[in-house]
Chains A and B, each alone.
Chain A
């Protein structure tokens, strides 16, 4: 049985201007011990998806359909109260900016203890010991003293470690990290990524890493899902995505990926244009206004929504170009360019 499976998940928000289709028919699977990277530009629906899995849109204005299967249980139709009991214990989340994501008025230790005691009926003393252990585990020096510090007394990297300690405190089976390193500087980013990789191996959790930085998913992921306008547009193993990507949008992302041998600010092949409106999604392929290949599909790009189809061995692509055209374009037009730059 698949540990986590999304089937045609849709999360739409009614707004004054119309329905915001933040997630629009998303499906994927993830096994224990594996890491899925979800990449996409700002607004592609990554965070909405992760909050949706945790059930945090329940009771709000969101219209949710589809299925989320977690360890044999369906969560979209489950009661909010039931999903709440799974949160923190069965599935946990690490947020982007640990300064704003931790309560400024409670000590780091108190916040970890709270997370632990929701799901474990233990005394404060036991919970405190556990919190110190967790802080130690994520590499915070002098954890028995730092446990009484407030978040603002930590550095950015230490805060993110504490946030990870909090998320892991109940030994979750599914861990979602939403932009876990975006708020940190480069060297600290690398440390946090190392830490997450180690911890995931120890805990054998299923890990979803959400980012708009392909470099981060390259570090961690077994599989990669590329999202655009609430939909998956390419899905495959890390090798598929980095060695033989087949979607023009993925090519664009790879072109804008910061690389060690380049200045970080210098983005050689940025994707032109901006992400589409999620209310009036462009007809046909949502990417077509920005796609330099749209004129090679005989007009289908602007009129017909492409389906997510298997290219080869579980590698899925949502594009009207034929597989051969995509592969030739990658080999002859895109790859040489990326390598040259």
Chain B
């Protein structure tokens, strides 16, 4: 067990390294392929007022002329140990984990990311709770009442949920439910309020995004749960559970649903991990200042350090989620041996 965890941890570290190399390669190579020079990159650090010579010096000092490997080494070291940026007029220390400075605001990227994280976490975890409860419950009932009106209606809606894009459902729900109309479930203002400032306002500001996002995922979970339940409810062990004299509710939940849980846990871990890197569409639709919105803004402004930071941050969550899922797998299914 312990060796297994250590092996998985090492694997996670390797994965992150690979992701960082790829990210670095893409974001440093692509602009060059598109015609950017070390000088034009350095110009972003020293500002538009600097003359050609200053830019030249900055490019040299920032190491834009070094071989790619050396540049990557510096980049990786910055994340692990922090970095000192010497751009000519002065030296700026950027503490670890250093993802560099924004081209636009000249502020370090990392604190920005930390700032955005609670928003995305609030969105992701809140939505996750809703979609798991709604999706699994719908799936179970659909499977038990297979072919009924409920089943058909639920599966039709689920098909819609899986296929409709979030900017559509998001806008529809905003039109129907947002403040000022009869079905309103949101508060005035509607902008994001941190949980610790005012929990009620926090919940109000997130209700619509939660529901919209949860709808998208719940649909998939309902279908997955239904398929899993249809399979497990035919298993011999269900017949055994009934033969013991268990009440049907216990048979379904304790034996049937438990048997169908493994794929759900896996998908759930990965989905949440992925969402923590930013629910791009939901956050932009509802103007939530989370990671996804941050990424979109960074891309629109071609703010490379920000984009890289957000990509690596997202990759980190995906890798960690994978790690947790692998470990959970053995908890959920005791037949899986961790070796």
Contacts and interface: CB of A to CB of B under 8 A. Distances in A.
Nearest to A89: B245
B245 A88 contact: yes
Nearest to B237: A103
B334 A85 contact: no
A92 B235 CA distance: 18
Interface stretch (A25-33, A111-119, A281-289, A322-330): A111-119
Contacts of B237: 100-104
A95 B247 CA distance: 20
20 contacts: A51-B239, A85-B245, A87-B242, A88-B246, A92-B243, A92-B244, A93-B240, A93-B243, A100-B236, A101-B237, A102-B237, A104-B237, A104-B333, A105-B332, A114-B246, A118-B246, A150-B334, A152-B334, A152-B335, A166-B244
Interface in B216-266: 235-237, 239-247, 255, 258-259
B245 A100 contact: no
Interface residues on A, range: 20 to 34
A106 to B, nearest CB: 8
Interface residues of chain A: helix, strand, loop or mixed (majority):
mixed
A137 interface: no
Interface residues of B, number: 19
A86 interface: yes
Contact of A102 (B240, B245, B333): B240
Given A84-B247, A88-B244, A119-B245, 16 more contacts: A54-B243, A84-B245, A86-B245, A87-B243, A100-B236, A101-B237, A103-B237, A103-B255, A104-B237, A104-B259, A105-B333, A105-B334, A114-B244, A118-B245, A150-B334, A152-B335
A102 B240 CA distance: 7
Nearest to A56: B242
A88 B246 CA distance: 9
Nearest to B262: A105
Contacts of A88: 243-246
A95 B240 contact: yes
Interface string A128-154: 000000000000000000000010100
A118 B248 CA distance: 12
B254 to A, nearest CB: 8
A87 B334 CA distance: 28
B242 A105 contact: no
A103 B259 contact: yes
A101 B244 contact: no
B244 to A, nearest CB: 4
Nearest to B258: A105
A97 interface: yes
Interface in B120-145: none
Contacts of B241: 103
Given A101-B239, A101-B240, A87 B259 contact: no
Contacts of B258: 103, 105-106
A56 B334 contact: no
A327 B109 CA distance: 98
A56 B239 contact: yes
Closest 8 CB pairs of A and B: A88-B245, A87-B245, A100-B236, A88-B244, A103-B237, A101-B236, A115-B244, A93-B243
